[in-house]
Amino acid sequence: MRKMKQLLTRSLVLLCSVILSTMTANAADVYPVKPIKVIVPFPPGGGADTLIRLIAPLTSDLWKQSVVIENRPGASGAIGAELVAQSTADGYTLLMGSTAAVTEKNIHQFSPVALISASPYIVTMSPALNITSVRSLIAYAKANPGKIRYGSSGPGSASHLAGELFASLANISLLHVPYKGTGQALTDLLAGHIDLMFAPAQTVMPQIESGKLLALAQTGAKRSEALSNIPTVAESGLSGYSAVGWFGLFAPANTPKPVIQKINQTVMFVMSQEKVRKAMLERGSDPASGSPEEFSAFLRLDQSKWAKLIKENKVAVQ
């Protein structure tokens, strides 16, 4: 009798598993059946906002559903991220995340879906100080400790940590001025309220091309395809420096894997289209590729690097 009950129990578990698997697969087959909301946890005009607005129109056409972009800034991206984390895990609320919004502390609340871009930032100066190279920036900062003001999209953001890494390797002191997004920091850079940014190219390239800002270097280990005419920080005199800013799509944790795979495949297809690829490159962003699993592996390495910097340099990220 006992063996019979155990057999029935195992059979029921197996049956439920098959039913659940079938339901999940069917959900992915028909996904999406209603509009998809993408939360950008920063104000309009920043890197995350710019990139998702390039990708959304064709994604919407392919899915025959609206892709609604909603800006929910605050707390270095944490407010928008938490909103998505608490949403139903069905693929209809996504996060356009970045270094500050998705960290070691909250990554467990999300399912990585698709890496959109992992591109170098640009070391961007206001022309007011007449600093035209990385070497002259370092020399000025050493002669004037704490007087160079650099803006970021908030504590713990890539634009903040890229600056902290720069200061650490160059053995200089920079004054960090956090904002709610790179768009707001850019406004103050143009107005002369701050002097420097480690900024996403898509945010500052128009101002660089018009001569309103100077591009001293790019922050990657090697020159980006999108920024081939701008030298790296390492090439410019600060050996060993390397930092990238990434943007990617996330779903709430426990979103069905078939749904995540479908979103990933659609987004990868969109970014492979020449029109979208060209638009991204023109804005200084290298289109990414890869599976959700590869995105997860990338995140582990990136977060480990910044966690080490934060700990060793006692960087305030809250």
CATH at 52: 3.40.190.150
Dihedral sign, Cα of residue 310, residue 110, residue 291, residue 54: negative
pLDDT at 5: 53
Instruction: Please indicate, yes or no, whether residues 252 and 237 belong to a single structural domain of this protein.
Output: no
Query: What confidence score (pLDDT) does residue 20 get?
Result: 47
Task: Look at residue 8 and tell me if it is in a domain.
Answer: no
For residues 207 and 94, membership in a common domain is answered with no
Can you give the CATH number for the domain in which 147 is found?
3.40.190.10
pLDDT at position 3: 59
Which amino acid would we find at residue 284?
G
**Do both 238 and 128 map to the same domain?**
yes
106 and 215 co-located in one domain: no
| Residue 20 within any structural domain of the chain | no
Residue 4 in domain: no
Q: Which of 205, 222, 243 is the last residue before a domain boundary?
A: 243
Residues of the chain with pLDDT > 90, as a percent, come to: 75
**Is 127 a domain residue?**
yes
In a domain, 27, yes or no: no
Q: Decide which of 205, 228, 243 is a domain's last residue.
A: 243
In this structure, which amino acid lies at residue 109? Q
Last residue of a domain, one of 194, 212, 243: 243
Is 13 part of a structural domain of the chain?
no
Q: What is the pLDDT of residues 211-230, one digit of tens each?
A: 999 999 999 999 988 888 99
Q: What is the pLDDT of residue 14?
A: 57
- What residues contact 59, with CB distance under 8 A and at least 6 apart? 67, 266, 267, 270
Q: What is the pLDDT along the chain (318 residues), one digit of tens a residue?
A: 555 555 555 655 455 454 445 455 566 789 999 999 999 999 898 889 999 999 999 999 999 999 999 999 988 899 999 999 999 999 999 999 998 899 989 999 999 999 999 989 999 999 999 999 999 999 999 999 999 999 998 998 899 999 999 999 999 999 999 998 888 999 999 999 999 999 988 889 999 999 999 999 999 999 988 888 999 999 999 999 999 989 999 999 999 999 999 999 999 999 999 999 999 998 888 899 999 999 999 999 999 999 999 998 888 886
* Domain with 127 in it: 120-243
Give me the long-range contacts of 82-86 (CB less than 8 A, separation at least 24): 82/106, 82/109, 83/39, 84/39, 84/110, 84/250, 84/251, 84/252, 85/109, 85/110, 85/252, 85/253, 86/252
Q: What is the pLDDT of residue 225?
A: 85
Same domain for 199 and 171: yes
Is 168 within the bounds of a domain? yes
- Please indicate, yes or no, whether residues 95 and 48 belong to a single structural domain of this protein: yes
pLDDT of residue 317: 81
For residue 196, give the nearest of 231, 171, 167 by alpha carbon.
167
Note the pTM of the prediction, 2 decimals: 0.81
Query: In this structure, are 87 and 112 located in the same domain?
Result: yes
Name the amino acid, one letter, at 86. Answer: Q
